[in-house]
Chains A and B, each alone.
Chain A
Amino acid sequence: MKAIVCVKQVPDTSGKVAYKPDGTLDRASMDVVTNPDDLNALEAALQLKDKTGCKVVVISMGPAPAEGMLRELLARGADRAILVSGREFGGSDTFATSQILAAAINRVGVGPEDVVFCGRQAIDGDTAQVGPQIAEKLGLPQVSYAAEIKKEGNSLIVKRMLEDGFMMIRVKTPCLITCIKELNQPRYMNVKGIFRCFSKKIEVFDYDALKDDPLIETDTIGLKGSPTNVFKAFTPPQKGAGAMLTGDDAAAKLASILAEKHLI
């Protein structure tokens, strides 16, 4: 039994946000962090490991520096780290990325008791598409927005959060779960883990390693395999605080403000 966790290194949006002249994010000049929801996914996997002793495999697609993030995840308790990296994969959107990650997961192998964990969404794209797409491409049942996970035999009981409530879902393994921050509190790196993680090898899956998977075609990966294009990225302007109108004449006050702004 193993838990496979998909993780992404993202720009730290709590720091400085920079753009390239073409309007897309200038990732190179921004600090990077592990995508917050992905840390919840890793924590879910590590809790499964604490209970069952299963192995935890982390997979990330990205450029070579993402290796640093993978080492930190080993220091948190992951057993094996795989970096999916290659020029051919560059420019991938969510469709192409999920093709590649699904192929990487195929190469690791999904056993009957295995669980694939993803974060709900990455803070740089906010699409929440990659996890569900991976599940589709691997033919796995999926539960998104997991806020609680319990293992019962070869099933997981998952509390799936919705905006106005929740669903309790029983899902058989193997399956894919996308995790939200309410699921758990990610653990810190462990000092023992820190001093062990640099002696572990980070495996690299490049194009050659994955090219025999039927999911990998030149027109399903990279820029060429990406149906979406980003035209512009920007920081949305902060909304000002709203004004509360109370009293019997609230409607009149509202009307006069709207008139003042030439909205009516």
Chain B
Amino acid sequence: MDFNLTKEQQMAQKMYREFAENEVKPLAKKVDAEEYFPKETVEKMAKLGMMGIYFPKKYGGAGGDVLSYVMAVEEMSKVCGTTGVILSAHTSLCAAPIYEFGTEEQKRKYLRKLLSGKWLGAFGLTEPGAGTDAQGQQTVAVDAGDHWVLNGSKIFITNAGYADLFIVIAITGQVPDKRGRMTKEISAFLVERTFPGFSVGKPEDKMGIRGSSTCELIFEDCIVPKENLLGAKGKGFQLAMTSLDGGRIGIAAQALGIAEGALAETIAYVKERKQFGRSIADFQNTQFELAEMKARIDAAKFLVYNAAETKQRAMNGEKIRFSVEAAEAKLIASRTASDVTRRCLQLFGGYGYTRDYPIERMMRDAKITEIYEGTSEVQMMVISGAILR
């Protein structure tokens, strides 16, 4: 593994840092306190080519690489976890599946709009009764000759309130499995916000990433054109799992960014805060806490960057998978984010518990990274499944 960033990656990182500091950080408190979806930030990111970083120019992408995208999520999340996940869900869960599974026509029709940032993307898999058990889907799609009719609902859908396009997973029939038992046949669909019979429910009131728009999707005889089936009929589950492998790298990058952001805030704070006549940075407890947090963050960073590089190799045509790398990155980075933000808050003491400082927000934002796009337990199932095979 080569951990040296290319010149392009270094330059992109510099740009993301300037952008995050000047455009994203000043909004972060409002985003959290007012559950404010930062539309203007999304528009600015779109203008700068950040909504399609690792896709080819042919489809309107920036022609970059996966690590450059991962660093963008990381840098935004250092100052605002909400902004990080908006970028991640749009890129990994909507643009990526269309790029990887879409027909040429679907790519031309939808990818350009998504990668230019004119449209925002979302992904609907989770249902009230089908979270980790994604096979427990209830949403159905019925073939009505020249179109599909979707009925059912999805919950906890990131970007839902503002997205223009949704990838929706639904049951298209029954098929026998290897042992001859009948199981659900699952397929994926491209649903535009304006399709008849489609609506978005009310946003969730969440502990963290409060500006991220997380809503229910409702399908009531929703009409979806025939050509909007994404990937082959019956291959929706594989499409969803592959998309989540990529999505997990994005969430791992978000977690990494939150941890790094919290540590940076804490380093500045402990130098200033005085107790017993000296700065609390002079106490060995503070020093050891900072040292261990830094080491854990760096360990997480190696896993996240490694997962990004492995996905890049897969995109370059190598016959490799990156499910385990993505699961390891997400498992460790999200745990690190929760652990580091909690310990940082402890160093802030009483001030850290107030909303005058960003650290309690970071602690609340960190928790979700252990839950969405596969809980930590799911990541461990993926990893153990691979080593016990």
Contact = CB atoms under 8 A, between A and B. Distances in A.
Contacts of A194: 8, 11-12, 15, 62, 64
Given A188-B19, A191-B53, A192-B57, A75 B48 contact: no
Given A188-B48, A190-B49, 13 more contacts: A71-B7, A189-B14, A189-B15, A189-B48, A190-B47, A191-B15, A191-B48, A191-B50, A194-B15, A195-B62, A196-B63, A197-B11, A198-B7
Contact of B18 (A71, A188, A193): A188
B68 interface: yes
A133 B47 CA distance: 37
Contacts of B53: 191
Contacts of B68: 191, 195
Contacts of B72: 191
Contact of A71 (B11, B12, B57): B11
B8 A195 contact: yes
Contacts of B50: 191
A206 interface: no
Interface of A: 71-72, 75, 188-198
Interface in B37-65: 47-50, 53, 57, 62-64
Chain B at the A interface: SS class:
helix
Interface string B76-105: 000000000000000000000000000000
Interface residues of B, number: 19
A34 to B, nearest CB: 12
Residue from A71, A195, A197 having most chain B Cβ neighbours under 10 A: A195
Contacts of B18: 188
A188 B62 contact: no
Given A190-B48, A190-B49, A195 B64 contact: yes
Contact of A75 (B11, B19, B57, B63): B11
Contacts of A198: 7-8
A230 B7 CA distance: 36
20 contacts: A72-B14, A75-B11, A188-B18, A188-B19, A189-B14, A189-B15, A191-B15, A191-B50, A191-B53, A191-B64, A192-B57, A192-B62, A193-B49, A194-B8, A194-B11, A194-B62, A194-B64, A195-B63, A195-B68, A196-B63
